[in-house]
Chain A
Amino acid sequence: MERAGWLFVLPLALVLATGYVWPLFQAGVNSFHLNTPEGIDLGHWTDANYAKLLDPLYQSILERTLRISLIVSAITAVLAYPVAFFIVRLKPKVQPWLILVYVSPWLVNTVVKSFGWSLLLRSNGVINTTLQHLGLIDAPLHLMLNETGVIIALVPGHFMFVLLPLWAAASGLDPNLKWAAGTLGAPPWQIFLRVTLPLTLPSLIAGLVINFTMNMTAFAAPAILGGVRARTVSFLAFQVNLEQLNWPLGGAIAVGLLVFTLAVVWSGQRLAFLAVRSGRTRP
């Protein structure tokens, strides 16, 4: 009887094992070997690729990627609360529609989205022409082909990863808690600070973690809107793997990114757990 269960599960498990685990493993293995003009030298194990990642050039790209990702996450965190609480106060029938608006970026591929942003942000794009028309600026703003453009596009692009959990948490908040705090003398800002915020913080953190990792590994937006001046790790990966065909180094980048992502997710979970118990005064 039990065996039938395994039969059901096996096909998917096999597909994932061969199409998911094995390739990742292989890339990892590759990363510990040297790349030579004749192919990957499977004879010797080395950590030279990882050492190469510490190169100042690569490090500056990593730094830039981190900076952009953190800025995007920070902006998102600030914007998510007002949006989430606005939606929560709407009639239940209306709420899903607004959520759909915020989920819409995920339904259209990032290339089309980034293309749309390029139409808005370029020097003769909609924003610049409108502002110049209205006489608010003389020369076009440099909103594209730099970090700014990437940030502007990534914020709405990855917004829903924070909004959805936050909205779910806000919806689940017992209204009695807010009223109880109110009757005990807490004005609205105190209610937010001492009740709403602590209770929704774990969801915010969980969402921010995903948002951050998505920012770090985004490809199309930085590629289209960042230009030469704002290359990120993902584009570096592209160059190394597809232009230089240096797969061991590419594998090292993959492993590095994966480990980084897992580390962020793990620490995010610990942080969320700690945030649940955020009372202060000792009796």
Chain B
Amino acid sequence: MRAFNAAMIVVMLAPIVLVVWISFTPEAFFRVPLDSFSLRWYREALSYPDFVNAFVLSAKLAALAALMATALSFFAAYGLVRYRLAGRGFLLGFFTSPLVVPAVVFGIAMLQFVNRIGLYNDLTGLLFAHVVVVTPYAIRTLHATLQAVPEEMEWAAMVLGATRLRMLGRVTVPLAARGIVTAFLFCFLLSFSEVTMTIFMTGPALQTLPVRIYNYLTDRIDPTVAAVSSLVVLVSLCLVFLANLAGAFKRLPR
């Protein structure tokens, strides 16, 4: 049993470990480095403008999308949790529904849509698409977070004279801080990793990092792409680490 589970873990981690390992090869082809390691391909990757630009674009896009999704979802979740709106359940379901729609379907629909309204190859269109895709995670997290913030605290602040908006900023947001940060980090990670929908709706002028890697793979093959991929893995690990610091994983079931 233990052997089986160990094998499963190896299978799960193998591709990622391999990519990172190979990125340190001094050779010009894919050979697992055993005695000599080199940062040659990292230098190569960092001096390759296409990759650097794609990285910057992905980071910008992820930051903006996460920011927008978190902000919009925060207010929406607040409305759902604190007010007895008719159709609350339906609205929550609606906000979470993008989860059910396959990325390919999104890709097709967004492609046709942005072309129609002239936003093809435009960051705005892509941004909207990413916001839609990461919203379910944001709304779920923030909905749970705000449910856990006692409403009494807000009433106490308002009784003392704060308007709702000021109260939100000074009471609710600090109390929900952990959930907000968690939602942001997850949205960032998801947007940064989003590839299928993005491939469909972007052209050569607007390549995010995963898309750039994909196109590179279909073009030529050298360890540069391994180095870039390793950097992507590094970014993901950092985000998970940050999320852990923010207490994202404390809610996991026993």
Contact = CB atoms under 8 A, between A and B. Distances in A.
Q: What DSSP secondary structure best describes chain B's contact surface?
A: helix
Nearest to B75: A8
A87 to B, nearest CB: 8
Interface in A1-59: 1-2, 4-9, 11-13, 15-16, 18-20, 22-24, 26-27, 30
Q: What DSSP secondary structure best describes chain A's contact surface?
A: helix
A159 B195 contact: no
Contact of B232 (A79, A108, A118): A108
A82 B3 CA distance: 11
Interface in A117-169: 117-120, 125-126, 153, 155-156, 159, 168
A254 B157 CA distance: 49
B113 interface: yes
B102 A213 contact: yes
Nearest to A110: B195
Interface in A162-179: 168, 171-172
Interface residues of A, number: 84
Interface stretch (B16-24, B33-41, B45-53): B16-24
17 contacts: A8-B79, A15-B68, A16-B132, A82-B5, A86-B5, A105-B12, A108-B193, A109-B192, A111-B210, A111-B214, A111-B217, A113-B16, A116-B16, A220-B195, A237-B108, A250-B108, A254-B108
Given A16-B94, A258-B105, 15 more contacts: A5-B85, A9-B91, A11-B76, A15-B128, A83-B8, A106-B193, A108-B193, A108-B232, A110-B196, A112-B15, A112-B229, A217-B196, A234-B196, A251-B108, A253-B108
Interface of A: 1-2, 4-9, 11-13, 15-16, 18-20, 22-24, 26-27, 30, 79, 82-83, 86, 92, 96, 98-102, 104-120, 125-126, 153, 155-156, 159, 168, 171-172, 213-214, 216-220, 223-224, 233-234, 237-238, 241-242, 247, 250-251, 253-254, 257-258, 261-262, 265
